A and B are shown apart, each in its own frame.
Chain A
Amino acid sequence: MTDVNKSLDELSQRLSQIPESTLVEMVWALEGKRVGNHADQTALGLLGQFRPRLQVVRPARRMSAKRLFCMPFEDMLTNAPKAQSKIIGKIARAVIDPAWDLLVDKIGRTEIDQIEAEIRALGKAPASWLPLGQRLWPQCAREMRDIVTRAEKNVAYRAEITPKLGGPEMYLDFQDIADVMEIAVEIQTMREGLPPKPIVALTDDDIQAIGNTVMAVDQRVRARAPVVVYALVARLDQPTEILSIFVRVAEKGMAGSTGELASITTEVMVTDMEQRFEEVRRAIAGGGNEGKVTAREDLAKEIDHHLKGIAQGREQLKGQAGAAAARRLDRVRVKLKDVVNANIIENASKDIAKVLGDIGRLSSKATGEGDIAEMQMVEDRLLALQLAAKYAGDLGLDKELKDELKRVETQIDGHTGRFFTDLRMRGLTPEDRGGAEAELYSSVRMLELVSGADKAEKTLVEGLNLIDETTKE
């Protein structure tokens, strides 16, 4: 590793050690720097370094009127392309800027500047942004509803604003934001009472907070109850949890309109599962993970997570009413099966064969960057196969996976067989001994990942004995 690479490695290790409170301070200061100069490369670069942790830590970002506007629906945001058909329960990020520009025109720059000034006066991350939101969101709700009502009545006006928003699908997302704004205070109150995204488990207090929201929305604008479902599903680790959450809410006597929302809840849940698959597909197609040493291993884990969600969803959708939704989940499952087959199973043995053909060079130079990357690719392949073996049976891929593993095992056995024969025939000089041991260890490691420790150890012991016997003094 070069000195520069080593320093970068150490720097990134240091960044991961910065306590969260300090990280929050640093992000705050860097964003402040960017307020004056949006192209500040130092600030941008450092914020980029922090990005992985920011996604997790989610520190209070420097607030602006636009960020405050987005706050109640930020969990629902998606990166889906503008032209994609409207996705229920999701709002495209692309609609934020045009929607905000329209709103600033309607509400007036003076009022927005006034809100910006109050945000600055409040300083860093107050306990809650609700009081300021209560001032902004109702104004947004009013103006957006005016626009939507006018657009629904006046074709010419609709034709005028639709392109401004980015197209007909974006207009539908704009309508969704208008709905959220009407109950923004209730939604934000619920968000502040719940754990951060992704929610894995909910306590009784959390269920109470959801129940309170359901009751409050029912009482004030019952027609907006579906927004509660959208906001909740978007926050869950497994969208299929939503059905059991509503059961728990009902047990507290706070079901409200959720009982009448069964079909929409199912629709949102299934759509969310489909969208999560689409994100996986987009990531593979975009090649964002190419070169990442754990790309296939990560994919295998992600698919495992989605399959658990689907299994849970199917369990809850048993019976006639849920049949259509269950079929949609099955379709997602079939798509996941194709992804597993194409990216984890197929061609694994071919990739391994390539490396085995060159293992003498690769194993003895394993400290070099290029070589370790190739060995890591093999590891990634084999670990992904191991992980996929856990669910291959459920996906109907048992045979494909076992056949591929068998092919890999045969290749490794064939390679070690030839290696041992060669040792017996030619023997080893003391100088070659180190290289031979490295090659043996690399093959044994691969064999262990495919066939298990017992067989691998047997090969190791046999190989080491052979190396001892055949080394000429």
Chain B
Amino acid sequence: MDGAVSKSFWAPPTFAERGASVPFTTPIIVGSRIRGRQDRLELVVPNPSGAKGNYILGWKSLPEVFSLTVHDRVLHRALDEAGASTPEAVRASTLRTAATGLAGPAAAKQAKTLLKEQEDAKLLIQFSLLSETVSQLSQGQLKITLAHVQSEAGRQQAKLILARVAHKVQIEGNELYARIEAWSDAVGAIGTPKLARPPRLRKMRQRIEEFANSIGGWSEVDKSEHAPLGGLASLVARETSALAAESFADADAYLEKLDATFGKWDKSLASISAAVERISWMLDGWDLLIAMWEEAVIKAPHEQQAVVQELARILPIIPEEEVTGPRREKIRSIGVQRRKLVKPMEDWVTGTIDADLRTRLEKYKAKAA
């Protein structure tokens, strides 16, 4: 092990420092994150002893330090080969690994469903952007249908329709089509606000809101010493959702003023991509927490209390430098609260792979979004 970096709860200043969460199935490294440092990857592991502090490992040394499940050995190699250090890159490798069935059939099925949904969403997002552009630029005179994105012939027709309105934003029809395609690729994870089935990250924000309500309600009813931790988790979830809402609004705003969007296209696309990337960092890691809580709500009170203690330990608090003004102060005070409330965990702390704990992590994976 390369050594501990912090004696208290780790409060990384930026998303990149914090790293992207990796949904391992080996209990001892639950809540770990991968990050890129210069030309190498590192793993940040919450202190395996359960006490405060984190360990930083060179990525390659992971299998030598911990006894990993086969799923995690395969995922470890996949992330290494992909050089993945962002939530989106980690997700791609994670889904492909889970789809093998090495984390159980339910997780495999879920991974395959999510990969398919991702493909389906691409088409719908492209349709939504084309339709909105044509409708706005033709002032409702022209329409795009789903058939226009479903076949090559349809796409040719769509280009002809675009050619009729492209002059309004001073470009050629084909160029307008290419820009919409690039826009559609950039917002693949968040889509547009009008989509009937919101894509993954938009849905995730909604789930975080629901989690905040659910665990917040629980913390009001529970009478144990763990109740404040539920309140803290609810607060962090609300704060995360509120911040993400701002970035969603930033990305969505480009649909409102198409003149400006296409007029300064390179700048627009860069800003849209930055907003989506920021959202994916903000919402990273919540999948596991929500799955943990969904399992816990139908359990006995003492089991719920144990889960609240576990999830408070790995709460993905937004890094301070990623926010400004009064929000930064609020984030800081949340960090202080956590340091006071969270106690060392015993459950995940074992050198061998505990069958029961591993199964729990695989069940969370089967609920991934």
Chain A residues with CB under 8 Å of B214's CB are: 16-20
Known A-B contacts A18-B214, A200-B302, A441-B100; A453 and B294 likewise in contact (beta carbons under 8 Å): no
Chain A residues with CB under 8 Å of B101's CB are: 363, 366, 375, 438, 441-442, 445
Partner of B300, one of A19, A198, A375, A379: A198
Partner of A17, one of B67, B73, B211: B211
A325 at the interface (CB under 8 A from B): no
Known A-B contacts A19-B218, A375-B105, A441-B102; A457 and B302 likewise in contact (beta carbons under 8 Å): no
Pairwise interchain contact A366-B297, C-beta atoms closer than 8 A: no
Pairwise interchain contact B298-A372, C-beta atoms closer than 8 A: no
**Separation in Å of the A143 CB from the closest CB of chain B?**
36
Among the 9-residue stretches B42-50, B123-131, B146-154, B353-361, the one with 4 or more Cβ atoms under 8 Å from chain A is B353-361
Chain B residues with CB under 8 Å of A293's CB are: 106
Chain A binding site: helix, strand, loop or mixed by DSSP?
A: helix
Partner of A301, one of B294, B297, B299, B356: B356
Interface string of A1-43 (1 = CB under 8 A from B): 1000000000001101111111000000000000000000000
Pairwise interchain contact B105-A297, C-beta atoms closer than 8 A: no
**Separation in Å of the B1 CB from the closest CB of chain A?**
20
B104 at the interface (CB under 8 A from A): yes
Pairwise interchain contact B220-A17, C-beta atoms closer than 8 A: no
**Separation in Å of the A380 CB from the closest CB of chain B?**
10
Pairwise interchain contact B301-A56, C-beta atoms closer than 8 A: yes
Chain B residues with CB under 8 Å of A20's CB are: 214, 217-218, 220-221
Pairwise interchain contact B221-A444, C-beta atoms closer than 8 A: no
Chain A residues with CB under 8 Å of B102's CB are: 441, 444-445, 448
Pairwise interchain contact A457-B70, C-beta atoms closer than 8 A: yes
Partner of A456, one of B70, B104, B359: B70
B261 at the interface (CB under 8 A from A): no
Partner of B213, one of A1, A16, A17: A17
Partner of A387, one of B100, B211, B294, B355: B355
Chain A residues with CB under 8 Å of B213's CB are: 17, 19, 22
Known A-B contacts A17-B294, A195-B223, A200-B302; A367 and B109 likewise in contact (beta carbons under 8 Å): yes
Chain A residues with CB under 8 Å of B223's CB are: 195
Pairwise interchain contact B299-A367, C-beta atoms closer than 8 A: no
B56 at the interface (CB under 8 A from A): no
Residue of A20, A363, A366 with highest tally of chain B CB at under 10 A: A20
B268 at the interface (CB under 8 A from A): no
**CB within 8 Å of A: which B204-231 residues:** 207, 210-211, 213-214, 216-218, 220-221, 223-224
**Separation in Å of the B221 CB from the closest CB of chain A?**
5
Give complex CA distance A147, B224 in Å. Answer: 43
B113 at the interface (CB under 8 A from A): yes
**Separation in Å of the A84 CB from the closest CB of chain B?**
27
**CB within 8 Å of B: which A246-301 residues:** 293, 297, 301
Known A-B contacts A17-B214, A52-B298; A379 and B104 likewise in contact (beta carbons under 8 Å): yes
Pairwise interchain contact B359-A445, C-beta atoms closer than 8 A: no
Chain B residues with CB under 8 Å of A426's CB are: none
Chain B residues with CB under 8 Å of A460's CB are: 70, 74
Chain B residues with CB under 8 Å of A301's CB are: 356
Interface string of B300-337 (1 = CB under 8 A from A): 11101000000000000000000000000000000000
Chain A residues with CB under 8 Å of B302's CB are: 198, 200-201, 237
Give complex CA distance A91, B223 in Å. Answer: 29
Chain B residues with CB under 8 Å of A200's CB are: 302
A417 at the interface (CB under 8 A from B): no
Pairwise interchain contact A21-B220, C-beta atoms closer than 8 A: yes
Known A-B contacts A363-B101, A372-B109; A383 and B359 likewise in contact (beta carbons under 8 Å): yes
Give complex CA distance A22, B213 in Å. Answer: 10
Residue of A1, A19, A297, A387 with highest tally of chain B CB at under 10 A: A19
B138 at the interface (CB under 8 A from A): no
Interface string of A443-473 (1 = CB under 8 A from B): 0110010000100110010000000000000
Cβ-closest chain A residue relative to B100: A441
**CB within 8 Å of B: which A62-79 residues:** none
Chain A residues with CB under 8 Å of B69's CB are: 448, 453
Chain A residues with CB under 8 Å of B207's CB are: 17
B108 at the interface (CB under 8 A from A): yes
Cβ-closest chain A residue relative to B234: A19
Give complex CA distance A126, B223 in Å. Answer: 17
Contacts A301-B356, A386-B355 supplied; 12 other A-B pairs, CB < 8 Å? A19-B216, A20-B218, A22-B213, A195-B223, A195-B301, A237-B302, A363-B101, A376-B105, A441-B100, A441-B102, A453-B67, A457-B73
Interface residues of B (CB under 8 A from A): 67-70, 73-74, 100-102, 104-106, 108-109, 112-113, 207, 210-211, 213-214, 216-218, 220-221, 223-224, 294, 297-302, 304, 353, 355-356, 359
10 pairs of A and B residues whose beta carbons are closest in the complex: A19-B217, A375-B105, A386-B355, A17-B210, A200-B302, A441-B100, A20-B217, A21-B217, A52-B298, A19-B213
Interface residues of A (CB under 8 A from B): 1, 13-14, 16-22, 52-53, 56-57, 195-196, 198, 200-201, 237, 293, 297, 301, 363, 366-367, 372, 375-376, 379, 383, 386-387, 437-438, 441-442, 444-445, 448, 453, 456-457, 460
